[in-house]
Structure 1
Amino acid sequence: MFVTLTNRVSKRVKRMSWKTITLFIAAMGVFMAPGSALAANWSIHYPRPIDENDQRHDYPLTLLKLALSKTGVRYTLTPSERILLQGKSIRQLKENREINILWVMTDTQREKELLPIRIPIHKGLIGWRVFLINQSLEDRFEKVTDFQSLTKLTPLQGAEWPDTKILQSNGFNVLTVTDFPEAFSRLALRQGDFFPRAVSEVLDELNYSSLDPDIVLEKDLVIHYPTAMYYFVNRANPTMARLIETGLRRALEDGSFDNIFISHHREALLKVDIGNRKVFHIDNPLLPPGTPLDDKALWFDPEKHTPNVNDD
């Protein structure tokens, strides 16, 4: 935990390495009384995105600010000094270096290494996957009549993303990439048939100014698997986890969470229109046993409800 200390640092602490000081501060958070957590100035560091114009960070940051505002704490929210890809972000958070929070899709390994705040920030939309494709290959998707015919096409996914293993376990031959720019480049070059993207992400990505004009949204199909994107913190930092969870719970109770969720996702849900697509439901063998699937207030089912244009 990165907490600004107002006391004068002793000579002994001054001789500590930065890593030692960081771990010392994190350990302090475990023993802080609830009242002292409110008095602290929380310095929260998250992974800097690849591109400063990457709008996929907008919603998680907005929701995090809402959660913190519900607790009354003072805080600063700052990106890491350098760009951190997903795999690196996870390793840095595990080691309590550079960042003290991130938001990624959950799986069993990540929940062993990090401390999850088990409130799905996109209400499960991260598991509803539509396809970005090269428009010159559109006829291949028109020939998909069943799931078996879909698995004959090659999806693109990140080498360290849980989605890769999920798709592979369901029969797909996945072409892996190192990052998003490579996935888009390969799609533009027709190396791979489709890039499955979450409903919660796809619209922002389609609006990238650098996106190749040949990359379009496939119009008829969607894959769904149960999963969640959570905020994660270091396992030695339960105080921060409890603080953020408290704020999220309060936002759910007063409706402000859902207001932000609908406001941010309305346009994408209307554009994707899952109710008029063929949905393939597949298994997620990486889903941790602690996933709160039975808490209906935490999930949004776009097959059953799509927000109206004027929904608030």
Structure 2
Amino acid sequence: MEHNGLTVAKTLKYPNLFYMLEGERFDYFPRGINEPWDEIVRHKELDLIVEPHIMVRYRAPLYFFLRKDNVALQQTMITTLNNMVADGTFEQMFLADTQVKAALSKANVAGRIIIDLENPLLTDRTPINRKELWFDPISYTGN
């Protein structure tokens, strides 16, 4: 966020952010597409809503971490995941996940203004050119 010129309010404790938002210490609290609805329910005592018209988007990979010395498992996972991506199994499983389905259903992504941000934390090893590895809710036709 700061890399993109946005002012960021900070705290040492994540739960404080909800109270800081309601207390108008900042204007918005960006959340992952799958997060805000459950958080609103968990903090129902606060006067918070999920903003319905804007979406902030930036590339954020999800990684599996393994022990460095388990080369066989690394190769098996790489091969298996690449095969699943290639044959569509990974996307089917991803879109069948109840949390993913609920998030895409509630988010109304097609009706939002998208603000794209850069992620300076990506390394040169991040496979940004492999489009098939990145889920883009904007191009998802199931919305």
| TM-score where L is the length of structure 2 | 0.80
Give 1:236 shift.
Answer: 4.0
SS state at 1:176 partner: coil
Map residues 5-20 of structure 1 onto 2, 5 A cutoff: none
Residue in 2 aligned with 1:301?
136
What is the alpha-carbon distance in structure 1 between the residues aligned to residue 24 and residue 46 of structure 2?
A: 13
Amino acid at match of 2:17: A
Match of 1:188 in 2: 22
Q: Deviations over 1:20-75 (max 9, x none)?
A: xxxxxxxxxxxxxxxxxxxxxxxxxxxxxxxxxxxxxxxxxxxxxxxxxxxxxxxx
* Matched position secondary structure for 1:222: strand
Aligned partner of 2:80 among 234, 247, 255: 247
Q: Distance in 2 between matches of 1:240 and 1:305?
A: 32
Q: TM-score when scaled to structure 1?
A: 0.40
Shift of 1:303: 1.9
Higher share in strand: 1
Correspondence for 1:256: 89
Cα contact 1:224–1:282 (8 A) shared by 2: yes
- Give the counterpart letter for 2:73 in structure 1: M
Q: 1:269 aligns with which of 101, 104, 109?
A: 104
Q: Is the CA contact (8 Å cut-off) linking 2:57 and 2:116 kept in structure 1?
A: yes
Q: How does 1:1-312 map to 2 (within 5 A)?
A: 167-208=1-42, 210-264=43-97, 265-308=100-143
Paired residues of 1:188 and 1:212 also in contact (CA < 8 A): no
Structure 1 residues 261 and 191: alpha-carbon distance in aligned structure 2, compared to 1, 3 A threshold: same
**How big is the shift at 1:285?**
1.8
Aligned residue identity for 1:271: K
Q: CA deviation at 1:207?
A: 4.1
Q: CA deviation at 1:173?
A: 1.6
Shift of 1:233: 2.6
Q: How many residues align?
A: 141
Distance in structure 2 (CA, Å) of the matches to 1:203 and 1:244? 32
Report which of the two structures shows the higher radius of gyration computed on alpha carbons.
1
CA 1:201–1:247 in 2, change beyond 3 Å: closer, same or farther? farther
Q: Secondary structure at the match of 1:286?
A: coil
Q: In 2, distance between residues paired with 1:243 and 1:206? A: 39
1:223 and 1:279 in contact (8 A); partners too = yes
Change (3 A) 1:248 1:168: same
Where does the alignment leave 5 or more consecutive residues of structure 2 unmatched?
none
- Alignment partners' CA distance in 2, 1:238 and 1:211: 47
Deviations 1:103-147 (A, max 9, x none): xxxxxxxxxxxxxxxxxxxxxxxxxxxxxxxxxxxxxxxxxxxxx
